[in-house]
Amino acid sequence: MSGIQAGARVLIYSHDSMGLGHLRRCRTIAQALAAKHDDLSVLILSGSPIIGSFDFHDRVDFVRVPGVIKLHNGEYTSLKLPMDIEETVRLRASIILHTADVFDPDVFIVDKEPLGLRGEVGQTLRQLKERGTRLVLGLRDVMDEPSLLIPEWERKKVIPALETLYDEIWVYGLPQICDPLDGLDLTAEVKRKVVYTGYLPREVEPSMPAQMPEITDQPYILVTTGGGGDGDGLIDWVLRAYEHDPLLPYPALLVLGPFMQPERQAQFMARVAKLKRVEAIVFDAHLESIAAKAVGVVAMGGYNTFCEILSLDKQALIVPRHAPRLEQTIRARRAQDLGLVQMLPDEFDHDPQVMAQALRALPRQRRPSEVVVPGLLEGIVNVNRLTEPWLSKPEDETIADRRVVRTGF
Q: What is the DSSP string of 370-402?
A: GS--TTTT-HHHHHHHHHGGGTSPPTT--HHHH
What is the pLDDT, as a whole number, of residue 157? 92
Instruction: Give a yes or no: residue 2 inside a domain.
Output: no
The answer to whether residue 24 sits within a structural domain is: yes
Provide the pLDDT confidence category of residue 45 given band limits of 50, 70 and 90. very high
- What is the C-alpha separation between 215 and 223, in angstroms, rounded? 13
User: Are residue 129 and residue 219 in the same domain, yes or no?
Assistant: no
pLDDT at 78 over 80: yes
pLDDT > 80? residue 205: no
pLDDT at 409 over 50: no
Tell me, yes or no, whether 98 and 176 share the same domain.
yes
Percent of the chain with pLDDT over 90: 74
Contact yes or no for 265/239 (Cβ under 8 A):
no
pLDDT, position 360: 97
Is pLDDT at 380 greater than 70 in this prediction?
yes
Alpha helices in 156-202 (DSSP H): 158-164, 188-192
Number of separate domains in the chain: 2
CA distances for 54 relative to 48, 260, 364, angstroms: 11, 19, 34
Q: 353 and 392 in one domain? A: no
The whole-number pLDDT of residue 132 equals 96
In a domain, 1, yes or no: no
Residue 207 in any domain: the answer is no
State whether 12 and 63 are in the same domain: yes
3 domain residue, yes or no: no
How many other β-carbons are positioned within 10 Å of the β-carbon of residue 173?
A: 26
Residue type at 283? F
Q: Are residues 172 and 277 in the same domain?
A: no
Which residues does residue 316 pair with via DSSP β-bridges, in sequence order?
Answer: 297
**pLDDT in the model for residue 22:** 87
Those residues with Cβ within 8 angstroms of residue 203's Cβ, 6 or more apart along the chain or in another chain: 288, 311
pLDDT at 142 over 90: yes
292 and 190 part of one domain: no
The answer on 30 and 152 residing in a single domain is yes
Question: Does residue 144 or residue 62 have the better pLDDT?
Answer: 62
Find the range with the poorest average confidence among 106-115, 359-368, 385-394.
385-394
CA distance 313 to 48: 29
Please report whether residue 168 resides in a domain: yes
Whether 16 has a pLDDT exceeding 70, the answer reads yes
Q: What is the band of 20 on the pLDDT scale with cuts at 50, 70, 90?
A: confident
Same domain as 286, residue 258: yes
Residue 97 corresponds to which amino acid?
L
What pLDDT does residue 269 have? 98
Name beta bridge partners: 43.
11, 61
Residue 206 domain flag: no
- Based on the fold, state whether residues 165 and 25 are members of the same structural domain: yes
Domain span at residue 151? 8-201+377-407
Cα end-to-end span (Å), the chain: 29
Instruction: Report the CATH number at residue 221.
Output: 3.40.50.2000
Contact of 307 with 288, CB cutoff 8 Å: no
Crossing angle for the helix pair 232-244 and 352-361, nearest 10 degrees? 90
Phi, psi of 68 (to 5 degrees): -130, 165
H-type alpha helices, 195-251: 232-244
Same domain, 174 and 25: yes
pLDDT at 231 > cutoff 50: yes
Residue 203 has pLDDT above 80, yes or no: yes
Average confidence (pLDDT) over 363-391: 96
- What is the Rg, in whole angstroms, of the alpha carbon atoms belonging to the chain? 22
